[in-house]
Chain A
Amino acid sequence: MKSKVNGISGRWPKALGNLGLSPIMLIVFVVVAGLPLFTDNPFTLRLFITAFMTATLAMGFDFTNGYIGICNFGYAAFWGVGAYTSAILVKDFHVPLPLGLLGAVALTAVMGALIGCLTIRLGGIFASCMCWFVSLALLALARNLVDLTGGASGYSATFMFKPKMGYLPYYYLIFAVMLGIFLLLSHFTHSTMGLAFRAIALDDKAAGSSGINHIKYKIINFSISCAIAGLVGAFYIHFVGIMTPTSMSNEKTTEIMAICFIGGRGTIWGSVISSLVLTPILEQAKDLLEWRQILYGLLMILIMIFYPRGMAGLVEKVRSLVLGKARKEAGASEAQS
């Protein structure tokens, strides 16, 4: 068992393991990538596009929450800012769409860095509340700057691809984004930077005294995580066509958080799996309406009480059981011979 992050067997190539590509994740990605070959039902595709967006957001959230231990309770606001930025750039400033996306990413990255600066001296619930207050202020701004954002009725944007092309281009674009972000974040978290993040999460003073510049790392972490939110937001508005201040409120953040925690915090891959499983199930049943929120809430409470480490914890437990058994059997057979 050379490294824990590797898949079921210890022989799995380390390079792949460092990119987070355990056998399970590889299979999941291949299956998901091949899905449009088997179905061209637009409804299914749309469900999975939503799932990919949520998965990416949950990964970005997990990057801050699971690694430096600050729960960014205003995450959806950055998603909204990304959406508004890209749409406004494209529509009002006639910037080409890719540049609009880039602008959204750049702005949210800068804002993330600012939030990182704001929370340097804060920890735990204080930092969460700070993020929350900033997000509330952003939300109120989106509502009040009517000339720029269209106020409470929202801002409509142009679509990314022509309607007759269907959902396929969206599907593969957001799939590529999700995969890219997954590889990137896995790479970061397996590098020394990830180690530094974890050290900061445990104790930032101790981390500082062992030579980790915790301010730098906090700011880097926040700007990466917020830039991801901005990117997904920009994709969202050119996919759905509209963004309203209400949709960037806390309910969105809570949903992302639920997905992340159900998947298992501090794992990156847990968020992907839980989103791919839960989002289609819960989004599909439109008649669930309020029950959907209730289910999210209930799942969150149950997970917090009984399985704080989420699905990832469950998988690890099963794996250690299986491996432990295998090891025992190997030991027994060796002893016999």
Chain B
Amino acid sequence: MVNILITALLRGGMYSLMAVGLSLVYGVMNVANFAHGEQYMLGTYFGYFCFMGLGLNPFLCFILALGGGFFIGALTEVVIFSPLRKRSGRNWLMNTFLLTLGLSMILKSGTKLLFGNSYRGITSYFKGTVSLAGFSASKDRVIAFVIAVVVIAVVMVFLNKSKFGRAIRAVSMDATGAQLVGIKLKRIYIVTFGLSCGFAALAGAALLSLTPAYPSNGTQVLYASWVVLILVGLGNVGGSIVGGILVGLLETICIQYLGAAWQDVFALSVVILILLVKPNGLFGKGVKSSVE
């Protein structure tokens, strides 16, 4: 039982990190990002090339992946979303959904074109395992979990205490109102999308030893983070943390009792059932535009 819980925690930590990024973007920019998995994929490539190609210290690799992800995210916002924002009106949310789908196609095929279809993985960043009360996990997993916890904590403090973080939250509540009090939306959007992509890339880099870098490794992650998001309600950043752990728990239980092959069927069925009872997600109350 304890084993299952710990495995679920280790598994869920990164889901939480991914979901927090996704949720932030949805809450602040009202963007349904379906290229989130591809940003994770890019992160695995960053991690691989920094670690194997340049032989850097793992932590430096993570920071570089975060930075790279941030840059790509910021670029996406400037090149794609800002022209769309100028033109699109009523169907904005669905348009962003389709737009990011197109983006994910481009990123996926682009990496395939550049790096081919081969797997680029590493056995581990840090050798050895960590044992705790009769339970042992590889150091990589534990460190990835710690990173996720630290980053999420920093983000929460950033959002709640810093001036810029508060501005981001203000925009998520009411963009027009925020503009009225002098918040520059453009900057907020760039930073938010950059951060979200940065988190995804960081998660990718940190989990490189578990999922090797190849063009379509983001699909699984994408749907796991969307499951989390839908499960807890869109745009609920705090809930995403719990949701990530919950999904991790669901999958672990399934792997333990039904076998790894059924994990998708099981986790998805549970989520579908939950959605039937609570269409706005577990913690969703006043969800922004649940019908649009």
Contact = CB atoms under 8 A, between A and B. Distances in A.
Interface centre among A121, A122, A129 (most CB of B within 10 A): A129
Nearest to A125: B32
A258 to B, nearest CB: 7
Nearest to A120: B279
Contact of A125 (B88, B97, B108, B265): B97
A123 B292 contact: yes
A33 to B, nearest CB: 33
A257 B226 CA distance: 20
B80 A305 contact: yes
B276 interface: yes
A140 B264 contact: yes
B99 A126 contact: no
Interface in A246-302: 249-251, 254, 257-258, 261, 290-294, 296-301
B177 interface: no
A122 B219 CA distance: 24
A250 B109 CA distance: 14
A184 interface: no
14 contacts: A71-B97, A121-B276, A125-B32, A128-B94, A139-B264, A254-B101, A257-B98, A294-B106, A297-B104, A298-B102, A300-B98, A305-B80, A305-B87, A306-B87
Given A125-B32, A126-B230, A301-B106, 19 more contacts: A129-B226, A133-B227, A136-B223, A136-B264, A140-B261, A257-B101, A290-B109, A292-B109, A293-B109, A294-B113, A297-B101, A297-B102, A297-B103, A297-B105, A300-B99, A304-B84, A308-B87, A308-B88, A308-B95
A71 B269 CA distance: 20
B105 A71 contact: no
A168 interface: no
Nearest to B113: A290
B268 interface: yes
Interface of A: 71, 118, 121-126, 128-130, 132-134, 136-137, 139-141, 143-144, 204, 249-251, 254, 257-258, 261, 290-294, 296-301, 304-306, 308
Contacts of A261: 98
Contacts of B109: 290-294, 297
B91 interface: yes
Which 7 A-B pairs give the minimum distances between C-beta atoms? A297-B105, A300-B102, A140-B264, A123-B291, A293-B109, A297-B106, A290-B109
B93 A125 contact: yes
A304 B87 CA distance: 9
Given A129-B226, A140-B268, A141-B265, A71 B113 contact: no
Question: Interface range on chain B: under 10, 10 to 19, 20 to 34, or 35 or more?
Answer: 35 or more
- The B interface is mostly helix, strand or loop, or mixed, namely helix
B268 A133 contact: yes
Contacts of B93: 124-125
A122 B275 contact: yes
A136 B221 CA distance: 13
A153 to B, nearest CB: 14
Given A124-B291, A126-B230, A291-B109, A250 B102 contact: no
A237 B54 CA distance: 48
B108 A293 contact: yes
Contacts of B57: none
Interface centre among A71, A136, A251, A257 (most CB of B within 10 A): A136
Contacts of B291: 123-124, 204
Contact of A128 (B83, B84, B97, B276): B97
Nearest to A261: B98
Interface centre among A291, A305, A308 (most CB of B within 10 A): A305
B98 A290 contact: no
B33 to A, nearest CB: 11
Nearest to A255: B105
Given A294-B106, A294-B109, A305-B87, A300 B261 contact: no
A144 B98 contact: no
Contacts of B276: 118, 121
Interface string B235-268: 0000000000000000000000000011011001
Contact of A140 (B106, B227, B265): B265
B254 to A, nearest CB: 11
Given A128-B97, A290-B112, A294-B110, A250 B219 contact: yes
Contacts of B226: 129, 132
